[in-house]
Structure 1
């Protein structure tokens, strides 16, 4: 598993984002039957100002959010609730580039505090959430949301993290 992290906000390094992200992404990929060592994800560890600019540029929403993702390829299922197609596996020795995730420190910290949950648990959930987006999962349509949230709960449980929706 390769999670390449660009630390724009040093608070993420102090918070131990690297091992959290590696563990979260590896768990998500393995849960879906993918070989984590054959996959690569880029992660931007930023602040609210940076993610607000990205949110405005890519989603037309000029406000901070917790996590954004940009899949390398569209893997989404056509039918609501359908399982997305898996990424193409590259030749031996190469890694499949799944895409990019951005995560904002202040929003994550604020949400964890407001929900009364450990910061690490919330970050783990959001990294898994972003990873699932890279793999074609989404939460816009009702059955897609149920599928994605169910997977998040299952993956988090394997990591000892409580159900964020319960």
Structure 2
């Protein structure tokens, strides 16, 4: 997969974000039976100030969040729990992640930062591919996929207490 990482905050270099993002993206696409070589996305690695502005502009929520995503096309399933439509364009969309929020969440959950960020990249990519967590069965489907993908990467279930 081609994943263009835009490093707005140099702290992201500490965890080797370029390689981490590529690994997470390839694992996600392969798990879904999609050709990783036929897809591209952009990942903006920013700080809380920048993501709070994006969150306000696009979601009307003027506070930082861990990850945001903007799919290039609507792929969501009409029925709760159904698989989204496959991509018709190699450009999947854009993802933004915020350093301070990710670091705080990782520390609060007792997880390595790289593991938490890998989960958030997988989560963001699933959003780009039409998965969501607004309806009950969609939540179950998306979380199960995240657990399976992370498991293949040797990471623990992020939803287990």
Report the TM range for the smaller structure's normalisation.
Answer: over 0.9
Structure 2 counterpart of 1:116: 110
User: Structure 1 residue 15: deviation in Å?
Assistant: 2.0
User: Structure 1 residue 44: deviation in Å?
Assistant: 0.4
Q: Which runs of 5+ in 1 are unaligned?
A: 90-95
Q: 1:11 and 1:117 mapped to 2: Cα distance?
A: 18
Q: Which runs of 5+ in 2 are unaligned?
A: none
The count of aligned residue pairs is: 160
User: Structure 1 residue 88: deviation in Å?
Assistant: 1.4
Q: 1:5 and 1:119 mapped to 2: Cα distance?
A: 17
User: Which of the numbers 111, 130, 149 marks the counterpart of 1:155?
Assistant: 149
User: Which of the numbers 81, 95, 99 marks the counterpart of 1:101?
Assistant: 95
Superposition RMSD on alpha carbons, in Å?
A: 0.6
TM-score, normalised to structure 2, is: 0.98
Q: 1:126 and 1:11 mapped to 2: Cα distance?
A: 17
TM-score, normalised to structure 1, is: 0.95
Structure 1 counterpart of 2:60: 60
User: Structure 1 residue 14: deviation in Å?
Assistant: 2.5
Superposed, which structure 2 residues align to 1:14-163 within 5 Å? 14-88=14-88, 96-163=90-157
User: Structure 1 residue 13: deviation in Å?
Assistant: 1.8
Q: 1:122 and 1:25 mapped to 2: Cα distance?
A: 14
User: Structure 1 residue 100: deviation in Å?
Assistant: 0.1
Moved over 6 A (4+): none
